[in-house]
Chain A
Amino acid sequence: MSIKQNIKTLIVEKPLKLDCGQTINNFPLAYETYGSLNNEKDNAILVFHALTGDQFVTGINPVTKKDGWWSYAVGSGKSIDTDKYFVICANVIGGCMGSFGPGHENPKTKKIYGTDFPVITINDMVNAQINLLDFFGIKKLFSVVGGSMGGMQVLQFISNYPYKAKTAIPIACTSSHSAQNIAFNELGRQAIAADHNWSDGDYNLKNIVPDKGLAVARMAAHITYLSKKGLQEKFGRKLQERDDLKFGFDADFQIESYLRYQGSVFVDRFDANSYLYITRAMDYFDLVKQFNGNLSDAFKNTKAKFFIISFTSDWLYPTQENKDIVIALNAVGANVGFVEIESDKGHDSFLLNVPDFLKALKNFLDKSYAEKHS
């Protein structure tokens, strides 16, 4: 993993008390930046990545050699315009792209953590990333933005640091993981655990990988990111490089082949234990409960201008769950705009080329930025 040694890393010296009770310090936080910070240091946008994302938001990811996960939205002249804004993104703790995670060595035992790594939460992820503001000397971010788990981090960030961002854009997310969300995550975790190679999390010691289990986890999750209509239109019952059914269990259908491919490429870039830890963090996310059943209290101190975006075909984090956040914000008189974008691309819409979404994101950011500078 020589490339990983070139990853930009901030060593966070300050102790961080995790929700599980453990305290960590001197831990690595891997990050990437795009664009440049202006003299006033008021053009910074902190982007939070989703479950399987990383700090390489746009351009070519130096590790996977593929386009960054938000290449449609972030870049020169794009919605999050890197000619104008200084974009920062960190790999979440618990992740596997350089930040402190289960693939790191436990200094006490000199062994790779595996499942001895402390369980982390969305709150812990955000509290780790706040250190980037001090590091760059940024008093207040222009915006915090993220979709899916990234959106949950946006909500947690504003709740923890109400004065640290001028605008906040939670996209296709929820304030509390639903039973269905937890169920799908559990399916993924059990797929990993059922792979003999997983070895109770100690596969690193044996130099093996639970690739079958992780691939199945990815396949199942991938279905939840798409819509029925989208799948039907893209694949229907089309057959994979054959004229007829083969009466066997090879991938007869294109959708089977597609999912297998998605599973196989995922295992090359993602760590199975990180998958367990990050899905757990999502499942534990319940901002409503953190504020004793009143989500509005999470936002009562903030002056941040919110823009919430959902997608019509997203059944994983449906519009209603996004609207619940809007309602909570309105209840405390916060400045909040909301739009539901028409798209057949399911939950993944925020990652894809959905022009109405990209336009709304760009307009909101650019107009809000102009307001600050007029």
Chain B
Amino acid sequence: MKPEYKIISDLIEKDAKVLDVGCDDGTLMEFLKTNKNANIRGIEISKEKVQTCIAKGLTVIEGNAEFDLKQFPNDSFEYVVLGQTLQAFINPETVIKELLRVGKKAIVTIPNFGHWKVRLNLLFKGTMPITNSLPHDWYNTPNIHMCTIKDFVRFSKIINFKIFKSLALINENVSDINNSNLIFKNLFGELGIFLIEK
């Protein structure tokens, strides 16, 4: 289980109605079902992973978040979770807006491109960075819109959404991000976790 699942779970109230966008093999869904008694649905693009979710008894819709979120009415869910996939969308702005339309709140996690390893990788090797959390080559990566923790904070001001809580994951430890430590967290955080609202 990914270390951020526990953190995501802590951000969600008991019995909440939750949509996991890009729910993968349903691990987080199961975790939220067990720990938070969440009424949880998922969307997943991979047929194979949808099958895995069905085998776990989870309610999942095969689909693409970029096109298939439209079908949900406004405020259908209390929380919409988007785990480490924002960077893979053609239009992240539309996706964020859709998340916040469909959900009252959204939890977005991003692999931080501002991490020092990523920076050193590019600086010294002069090739596109490959790290544990970003294992692909430039030509086969699904990640077409990489951003840093700092970028995401700026993004909130540009497209106008509120960051309710921001957390950084460093060596499986979680810490708050605030204005005074943003530069530091942007250098050492492997993952940014944001609870956002309209």
A-side interface residues toward B, CB under 8 Å? 305, 307, 323, 326-327, 330-331, 333, 335-342, 356, 359-360, 363-364, 367-368, 370-371
Contact = CB atoms under 8 A, between A and B. Distances in A.
B62 A338 contact: yes
**What 10 pairs between A and B have smallest CB-CB spacing?**
A367-B57, A327-B71, A363-B55, A338-B61, A337-B59, A363-B54, A330-B71, A339-B62, A339-B50, A360-B54
A326 B54 contact: no
A335 B76 CA distance: 12
Contacts of A363: 51, 54-55, 57
Contacts of A359: 51, 55
Interface of B: 41, 47, 50-51, 54-63, 71-73, 76
23 contacts: A305-B59, A323-B63, A326-B71, A327-B71, A330-B71, A330-B72, A330-B76, A331-B72, A333-B76, A336-B61, A337-B54, A337-B60, A338-B62, A339-B62, A340-B47, A340-B62, A341-B47, A356-B47, A363-B51, A363-B54, A363-B57, A367-B54, A371-B57
B61 A360 contact: no
Given A330-B73, A363-B57, 6 more contacts: A327-B71, A336-B59, A337-B58, A337-B59, A340-B47, A342-B47
A359 B58 CA distance: 14
Contacts of A305: 59
Contact of A339 (B51, B56, B57): B51
Nearest to A371: B57
A305 B39 CA distance: 13
Nearest to B54: A363
Given A330-B76, A333-B76, A339 B71 contact: no
A194 B54 CA distance: 48
Contacts of B51: 339, 356, 359-360, 363
Contacts of A356: 47, 51
Q: Give the secondary structure class of B's interface.
A: mixed
Contacts of B73: 330-331, 333
A371 B57 CA distance: 8
B71 A335 contact: no
A359 B56 CA distance: 12
B57 A331 contact: no
Contacts of A370: 57
A348 B73 CA distance: 34
Contact of B61 (A337, A364, A371): A337
Contacts of A341: 47
Contacts of A333: 73, 76
Contacts of A307: 54
A304 to B, nearest CB: 12
Contacts of B54: 307, 337, 339, 360, 363-364, 367
Contact of A367 (B41, B47, B55, B63): B55
A331 B71 contact: yes
Nearest to B57: A367
Nearest to B60: A337
A362 B71 CA distance: 27
Nearest to B55: A363
Nearest to B69: A330
A305 B41 CA distance: 12
Nearest to A367: B57
Contacts of A327: 71
A307 B72 CA distance: 17
A360 B51 CA distance: 6
A339 to B, nearest CB: 5
Contact of B59 (A323, A335, A360): A335
B118 to A, nearest CB: 36
A339 B51 CA distance: 8
A370 B56 CA distance: 11
Query: Which of A307, A339, A367, A368 has the most chain B CB within a 10 Å cutoff?
Result: A339
A323 B67 CA distance: 12
A340 B63 CA distance: 9
A360 B72 CA distance: 24
A255 to B, nearest CB: 30
A307 B55 CA distance: 13
Contacts of B47: 339-342, 356
B57 A368 contact: yes
Contacts of A339: 47, 50-51, 54, 60, 62
A160 B76 CA distance: 25
B52 to A, nearest CB: 9
Nearest to A306: B59
A35 B62 CA distance: 32
Contacts of A367: 54-57
A339 B54 CA distance: 9
B37 to A, nearest CB: 13
Contacts of B76: 330, 333
A342 B50 CA distance: 12
B21 to A, nearest CB: 13
Nearest to A368: B57
A119 B182 CA distance: 72
Contacts of A371: 57
